[in-house]
Structure 1
């Protein structure tokens, strides 16, 4: 049991191949982090100071931006620190904290996107009742649920991981992931895997069903409506669909990495897949909403007028 209790830190070995260009990587990801913060803070500021944007849709966009900063702030600073580290070692406590934060970030993103799909469903399918259904109290409730449900639900499952003891220190990734840490356990984790599967159902399926139901209803209404209504509905849903597809790509990459041996893949491909859902959603979401949503775009153009 001495060997078991001795494992209190882990080595993130994927950083080793970055050694030769670590300063270049550091500058690139530092600039990306600054850009993510600036874009999301700017979007939040535009919505906050423009009273005409104090509508449910834009409030949900703000939550997406806040979560984007949350996700990037718990991953990129740690990534930068590890780049300059010689040991690429992370303590058990920090590893567990990183796992909890990264998983809750991913779940909050999905929950907010699901709520936004419901908001678009009400706006398109029940426009006359929109402000009644999406009342301030309802919006606050949906936002609270989007944030609290992931923190509490994943926390209940995460307790099992936190109680494990470990016999190996090697994590083949640039950050800690729950499935990788569980594999390092000294004991059989069959029960943990079963509970994890059940937890995934409760953590993912409700949001997925909401998105599918919302867009099924939107599609049904569009098929019965005029061509102008088709165009308007498409313009209304495009930013959300782009954000959802962008997030889904990141999740797909994570699922592939958790289920298959990626050691034979090129290093650059592995890094791209590992960092996609931490970089691209918080980087592209504010750009997508800033460009695609007319009311936000008009406000931005007032701040930065384009000279003709």
Structure 2
């Protein structure tokens, strides 16, 4: 029987479905990853270089894009390498690291969305107090919260996983997922602490969701009374809501499938479900915000105009 002392490699068998189309998938994936890098880095650089965008909403957007770069870099380079090799394996330590990156990326996204909702709540419902509350110090604290909270929580989750005895090495996905590693534990292994940590994490991030709902109840109630607030809602809250709904759909669908879904789905469909959160939000978010937020759009159009001349 294998245990953690001898399981040094995992096999990512989900990639087997793609090997017949290796060249085409490699080319499309590389192109897509380049697009992700370009749109997110461009938006981050615009926010850094333009002094008029040094406001909480845009700084949070920059943090959002940096997180997109962090998460996709934890997956795409390894996937591209797997497409070029005959053995789709990952080391035990590398698998735990990738699982940590994937989970912390997803939960950091939700934390940033919660902080963005709070920022919009202050701007629309308490405009007179906005600048006194959303100071540089408060903004720094909120950004640290949105990054450090998932990092700390998933450090504990991954440490708990690393102590389990494993009786399997096959992961039927394109990437490592902490819960699937836990499911490879031997029957006599004590995974109770892992389950407690998993449900604690779910409670923490469900509370994020309830907080966002609470802020939008107040925002919508305020916007009903004011035409100016309705305009502000359409300009700044609609992109946020679009990002939030998209994120929740792809994440919840993946979690439900991973915990309760059928095992008889085609592998290609399982692959798409498993990496949906890495395909859609990292490209969609900067594009939506780039075109919807007036200051960002004007800055982009100004750069395009200058280049055209």
TM-score normalised over the length of structure 1: 0.94
- Corresponding position of 2:198: 196
Write out per-residue CA displacement over residues 93-139 of structure 1, whole angstroms, 9 at most, x where no aligned residue.
Answer: 10001011111111111111100000000000011211111111110
Q: Is the 1:253–1:274 Cα contact (8 Å) retained in structure 2?
A: no
SS of equivalent to 1:6 = coil
Which whole-Å CA distance do the structure 2 matches of 1:239 and 1:4 have between them? 45
Within a 5 Å distance, the mapping from 1:240-251 to structure 2 comes to: 240-251=240-251
> Does 2:258 match 1:252?
no
Which whole-Å CA distance do the structure 2 matches of 1:3 and 1:163 have between them? 10
Q: Is the 2:65–2:286 Cα contact (8 Å) retained in structure 1?
A: yes
Cα distance change of structure 1 residues 196 and 229 upon mapping to structure 2, 3 Å threshold: closer
Structure 2: where are the runs of 5+ without partners?
none
RMSD of Structure 2 on Structure 1 (CA): 1.7
Task: Please report how far the alpha carbon of residue 228 of structure 1 lies from its aligned counterpart in structure 2 after TM superposition.
Answer: 4.8
Task: Please report how far the alpha carbon of residue 2 of structure 1 lies from its aligned counterpart in structure 2 after TM superposition.
Answer: 5.9
> Does 2:105 match 1:137?
no
- Corresponding position of 1:110: 110
Of stretches 129-138 and 193-202 in structure 1, the one that deviates more from structure 2 is: 193-202
Which whole-Å CA distance do the structure 2 matches of 1:121 and 1:261 have between them? 37
Aligned residue pairs: how many? 305
SS of equivalent to 1:5 = coil
Q: Is the 2:3–2:165 Cα contact (8 Å) retained in structure 1?
A: no
Q: Is the 1:262–1:270 Cα contact (8 Å) retained in structure 2?
A: no
Task: Please report how far the alpha carbon of residue 249 of structure 1 lies from its aligned counterpart in structure 2 after TM superposition.
Answer: 1.7
Which whole-Å CA distance do the structure 1 matches of 2:82 and 2:287 have between them? 29
Q: Is the 1:253–1:273 Cα contact (8 Å) retained in structure 2?
A: yes
Task: Please report how far the alpha carbon of residue 91 of structure 1 lies from its aligned counterpart in structure 2 after TM superposition.
Answer: 1.1
After superposing on structure 2, the runs of 4+ consecutive aligned residues of structure 1 that deviate more than 4 Å are 1-4
TM-score normalised over the length of structure 2: 0.93
Q: Is the 1:39–1:286 Cα contact (8 Å) retained in structure 2?
A: yes
Task: Please report how far the alpha carbon of residue 210 of structure 1 lies from its aligned counterpart in structure 2 after TM superposition.
Answer: 2.2
Within a 5 Å distance, the mapping from 1:1-308 to structure 2 comes to: 5-186=5-186, 187-202=189-204, 204-223=205-224, 225-305=225-305
